[in-house]
Chains A and B, each alone.
Chain A
Amino acid sequence: MTRTQDDFVSARKQAWAELEGLLVGRRFHKLPPASIARAAAIYRDVSSDLMRAQAAGYSPDLIALLDGLAARAHNALYSAPPYRTRAAWELIAADFPRTLRKYSRFFALGIALFVLPGVLGFAGAMKSRAFALKLLPAPTVEQLEKAYAEGFNDGREAGQNTAMAGFYVYNNVGIAFRCFATGVLFGLGSAFFLVYNGLFIGAVAGLVTAAGHGKNLLTFTCTHGAFELTAIVISATAGMVMGYALVDTGGLSRFASLRTRARDIAYLVLGAALMLLIAAGIEGFWSPSSAPPRVKYGTAIAAYLFVILYLALAGRRSKRATAAAATTTAAAMAPAAATTTAPAVAP
């Protein structure tokens, strides 16, 4: 049967308007079940309307209308809850450390790219002030020398602590995020920022130590460093994983290869961000406190132990659970079992 466009439009108009009405509200999923079922039914009809309109050569504005309607209905009908609160806990308890261990080679490379320039910067600045001045701007040098000469034995006033905590959140987490994001340039950005930050921090430490205030610096930085330095290396690691996926594509297009690792990369960055928030809190309130050096060294050792144990052990499955997971995976690969087998959950 052939129909003119105008007949077609007047026959179907009402259904389209009805679907439009159902989609307008902000919360599609809060609608009563009957309305959602109705929307799904009209969506299927609209899809066939669209094909009919295309086949019959109806006018482009009509086809654009149906395209838009189908697209929005599809988007509403297929939307999943965007986040789960439980996922946040899973990230901290298991996903983040697990993912880092999966990329332990990249992490090791990251540590090397950070520590070696750090040692170099430290040794150089210890030996000659001129070397430090080549790396650091002169006003920074003066400011640093003054700050660490005074030390923090008397603590700081509370207002200043808050200010500095805010600054650390804004500045340091921002640096870590950029350190990650520039990894999209085949990993080079992340590597560059690691080396740069290593040299910079090393030179600062060398400079202050050469001036004889090494102890002030160490008592100040030792505790939050456990979180902060590790987290910066981790976010750069995520950047390098991203860059490597662009190079070793495994036969996929570059960005398709990257997308197979997208979840892992996001876990690493989110984990690093959490660690940096902790670091900012410590750096703002504990590091400058007047607690005696001995206590500070104690907390620093505890902090390093905590970070190392957490990254090395959290989310490890027991041997039995690993075996169970392996069997389940094998079963899931068999086509018959694929739909029925529930994924293994570590006890």
Chain B
Amino acid sequence: MALDNTTEVETPEHVRFRYRVAGPVRRMLAYLLDLLIRAAVLLVVWVVIVIAFAATREAISGFVLITAFIMEWGYYVFFETTGDGRSPGKRVLSLRVVKEGGYPIGFIDSVLRNLLRSADFLPVGYMLGLLSMAADTRFRRLGDRVAGTMVVVEERGLVAAPLALHPPLGEGELDGFPQRPPLSAWERETLELFLRRADLTAARRDELAQTIAPPLAQRMGLQVRNPVRFLALLHHRAAATGRPRGA
């Protein structure tokens, strides 16, 4: 069941869990957001210096250049080390930089991955970084490879509400259904995902169910009158018997 954008981490206590690795688009959005923030800070510094110090034009440019330097090279390192691997942009897009073993990153890791931004940027517009990401199952750019880090998506999943049969089980509806429906783990999972989908119109739901229900019914020697209801009943019976076959 390994989707191609997850990576498994095993901790020293032999706990295994999977991270969802962040792809280029999501990271690019975070980057753009951070870029906006950096530009905004630079603007604010410039305005403050002009108003508060009424400095000469040359002195202003000096302070602004120093701020630009800090924003270019220090921004990410500061936020990634103090914010547990999250710059403000990454925070908004629920991204986090972690070590390949799933540990939080340290100062040195952050320095390396962010200095190498300038190599990833080459020849223009992060082209090398994108190539490196495309050639890697964990979407690591060069900086990530050198520092031994990866960027993961952290989404708080929702605990799925129990899947109830609606309307409730009628008299004799399950007549003829096998006690343990002959479903593979994959098929059961498919049923469950289908029944949990709330974004389908009734017509589309019917249409999809019509393609799935008949072959399953045939396997169990049953007749299908209402495909969606049939799938719900089948899932209900399978869920009540616990472990699916072949899991």
Q: Are B242 and A3 in contact (CB under 8 A)?
A: yes
Excluding A57-B185, A74-B15, A170-B68, 18 further A-B contacts by CB distance (< 8 Å) are A2-B243, A6-B162, A59-B189, A61-B193, A67-B17, A71-B17, A71-B18, A71-B152, A74-B11, A78-B104, A79-B104, A82-B82, A157-B56, A160-B58, A161-B62, A184-B119, A258-B145, A262-B147
How far is it, in angstroms, between the C-alpha of A70 and the C-alpha of B20 when the chains are bound? Answer: 13
A-B contact pairs, 5 of them (CB 8 A): A5-B192, A71-B102, A87-B107, A158-B59, A182-B122
Q: Is B32 close to A, CB under 8 A?
A: no
Q: Are B193 and A68 in contact (CB under 8 A)?
A: no
Q: Are A162 and B59 in contact (CB under 8 A)?
A: yes
How far is it, in angstroms, between the C-alpha of A63 and the C-alpha of B18 when the chains are bound? Answer: 9
Q: Are B162 and A60 in contact (CB under 8 A)?
A: no
How far is it, in angstroms, between the C-alpha of A6 and the C-alpha of B84 when the chains are bound? Answer: 34
Q: Is A288 close to B, CB under 8 A?
A: no
A4-B242, A55-B247, A74-B15 known; A184 vs B116 contact (CB < 8 Å): yes
Give the nearest-CB partner of A79 in chain B: B104
* B-side contacts of A50, CB under 8 Å: 15-17
Binds B, one of A135-143, A172-180, A289-297, A321-329: A172-180
How far is it, in angstroms, between the C-alpha of A44 and the C-alpha of B17 when the chains are bound? Answer: 12
* B-side contacts of A68, CB under 8 Å: 20, 154-157
Bin chain A's interface residue count.
35 or more
Q: Is B163 close to A, CB under 8 A?
A: yes
How far is it, in angstroms, between the C-alpha of A207 and the C-alpha of B103 when the chains are bound? Answer: 54
Bin chain B's interface residue count.
35 or more
Q: Are B196 and A61 in contact (CB under 8 A)?
A: yes
Q: Are B156 and A20 in contact (CB under 8 A)?
A: yes
Q: Are A167 and B17 in contact (CB under 8 A)?
A: no
By a beta-carbon cutoff of 8 Å, the part of chain A in contact with chain B is 2-6, 9-10, 13, 16-17, 20, 44, 47, 50-51, 55-57, 59-72, 74-75, 78-80, 82-83, 87, 157-167, 169-170, 173-174, 177-178, 180-185, 189, 242, 255, 258-259, 262-263, 265-266, 269-270, 284
How far is it, in angstroms, between the C-alpha of A87 and the C-alpha of B107 when the chains are bound? Answer: 10
How far is it, in angstroms, between the C-alpha of A69 and the C-alpha of B81 when the chains are bound? Answer: 22
Quick one: CB contact mask for B1-23 with A, threshold 8 Å, 1 for yes?
10000100101010111111000
Give the nearest-CB partner of A4 in chain B: B239
- 84-99 of chain B: CB within 8 A of chain A: 84, 96, 98
A64 to chain B: closest CB distance in Å?
Answer: 5
Q: Is B210 close to A, CB under 8 A?
A: no
Q: Is B177 close to A, CB under 8 A?
A: no
* B-side contacts of A72, CB under 8 Å: 154
* B-side contacts of A59, CB under 8 Å: 160, 189, 192-193, 196
B109 to chain A: closest CB distance in Å?
Answer: 8
